[in-house]
Chains A and B, each alone.
Chain A
Amino acid sequence: MSAVAAQYDALQALGVEVFSVSVDSHFVHKIWNDEELSKMVDGGVRFHMLSDQAGNIGRAYGVYDDQQGIEMRGRFIIDPDGVVQAMEVMTPPVGRKLAETVRQVQAFQHVRATGGKEATPAGWEPGKPTLKPGPDLVGKVWKVWNPSME
């Protein structure tokens, strides 16, 4: 979670509200922040750390493991209309790469800003060419994009 805290400024700059969720109480969140996370990231955790002790939120998002009573590493990007645009769910031993979340948010924000008229090809980052789906592009993507541009 310290990795998310370290990317908080980048996410804030994109207007993204961050919520972390685990089955721990909010009291334990406080102690974890005070005792450990604040020593790993300047200023500690500055986003809301939610407590889901009954696992109800985790069940609603399909990440609650009732055998172990814990939640998997699930990351969801929700747009301003409240629609889930992206999800990534991993088992506990492998951590996330937050830079990829930032990239996906930038891409979804770009698509939204164009009213869905543009799509972003694989590996797209701001400044790179987008695709403009339409009859002219069918079978002709090769003219405007290929994997070496990723």
Chain B
Amino acid sequence: MVARVGQKAPDFAAPAYYRGGFTNVKLSDYAGKWVMLCFYPGDFTFV
């Protein structure tokens, strides 16, 4: 199921860099909060 407005956001877990350390993020751990998810083409690209 691909994400659609008005539908439940697909859950995921991923390794992350966060304030000098490494951690894991699971979207469903943030239930009850507003979340902004921002995809981008890649690190060290120009825009």
Contact = CB atoms under 8 A, between A and B. Distances in A.
Interface of A: 1, 4, 11, 14-33, 36, 46-52, 56-63, 70-87, 92-96, 101, 105, 109
Given A36-B44, A50-B14, A92-B47, A75 B36 contact: yes
Interface of B: 1-12, 14-20, 22-23, 25, 27-28, 30-45, 47
A91 to B, nearest CB: 9
Main secondary structure of the interface of B (DSSP, over half): loop
Contacts, number: 171
Main secondary structure of the interface of A (DSSP, over half): mixed
A78 B9 contact: yes
Contacts of A96: 38
